Structure 1
């Protein structure tokens, strides 16, 4: 089983590396400059410790530090979390800007002309398919099933977000979407191949599109 888990950084290491204080970190959390779901509690030999996704938290703090003297914290929220519902990008620019590989764009949006405008949601679906394909654990045919599942059910979760779970049983591939903080149990004949957080993908895509 391969879980698409991000490399984590401990709170202690984060504070040392960025030079910010404990108080600043949690103030930014209260102001929603740092998402609640990035504060990950894990058991260690000394008890419980807080960790963060390294590739998300470090660029976020760097951006906050560079902008906080020019705008208020409340204004920063809008700058860091813009509404992407109206964002669009041409099909060709998706791979020219190295957001989604050309192979994936041509495979899953091949019926559209190169200058066709894609919605943020469509780009997100291609981005998630690309990430799963890059693990080597998903085929292009399975990618078609993933895209179809996302197109049918992703909107049902609204702002709550979800995780994409990819399993196989007796050679049959199955994708389903799962609400956050939900636990799922499989019988012994099921292999969980991949599990991907939509929220993490949205944040990573947001930074690439900035």
Structure 2
């Protein structure tokens, strides 16, 4: 499963930003270092980017930079998790996480339970897949255990979740971004989610 790439020249032409802006945003960590992909072409070495991710990121930067400093924008776009907590009752009230998800995966917790941003993120991701009809509750339990075990290993680095199924058997993987994936015949990719993008989305709802 190969990500569509866009060259640096195409990116600058399409977005209207300058070379200087692009690399200033890189220095300020608004754009992850790993998104700058060097590849050999017939003209030599060129820089490419994961198209969907970089276009979304530049759109967000342009929308925020007039109201916030670049350091503030970097804080909002960082994959690092904020030191933030919220009660489950407030999560339900603000429609961040569904009652179905909380009852299924934290059935013994009363409404006053306080969750860290990390746990809210896990519930939020699971909720997305359940609401889309892509995942069963049993798979949701396995995904929660996968996230608990492996997500902390990325320590604030950009990563993504891949959910695939073949002949009724499903599995999950967390990968560094950007990564090209190729599967054997018959494997169906159910979802491929940028957890970095989801963290940004969740920060906008909570912080």
Calculate the TM-score normalised by the size of structure 2: 0.73
Any gaps of 5 or more consecutive residues in structure 2? 5-10, 39-46
Counterpart of 1:106 (choices 86, 103, 108) is: 103
1:63 aligns with 2:64: yes
Task: Give the distance between the partners of 2:167 and 2:151, measured in 1 at CA.
Answer: 26
Paired with 2:81 and 2:178, the residues of 1 have a C-alpha distance of 24
Please report how far the alpha carbon of residue 184 of structure 1 lies from its aligned counterpart in structure 2 after TM superposition: 3.3
Residue 45 of structure 1 aligns with which residue?
A: none
Structure 1 portions without partners, runs of 5+: 42-47
Identify which range, 149-158 or 20-29, moves more after superposition.
20-29
CA contact (8 A) 1:56 1:203 kept: no
Number of corresponding residues: 193
Give the superposition deviation at 1:160. 3.0
- Assess, with a 3 A threshold, how the Cα gap between structure 1 residues 117 and 22 changes in structure 2: closer, same or farther: same
Deviation at 1:85, TM superposition (A): 4.3
2:192 alignment partner, one of 195, 198, 202: 195
1:67 is paired with a residue of what secondary structure? coil
CA contact (8 A) 1:94 1:105 kept: no
Show the counterpart of 1:140: 137
Aligned pair 1:155/2:137, yes or no?
no
Q: What TM-score comes out, normalization by structure 1 length?
A: 0.72
- CA shift in 2, pair 1:93/1:58, >3 Å: farther
Q: Which residue of 2 aligns with 1:120?
A: 117
CA distance, structure 2, for counterparts of residue 98 and residue 14 of structure 1: 34
* 1:174 equivalenced with 2:175 (yes/no): no
Indicate if the aligned counterparts of 2:77 and 2:200 stay in contact, CA closer than 8 A: no
Alignment partner of 1:206 is 2:206: no
CA distance in 2, matches of 1:79, 1:178: 22
Distance in 1 between the 2:36 and 2:99 partners? 34
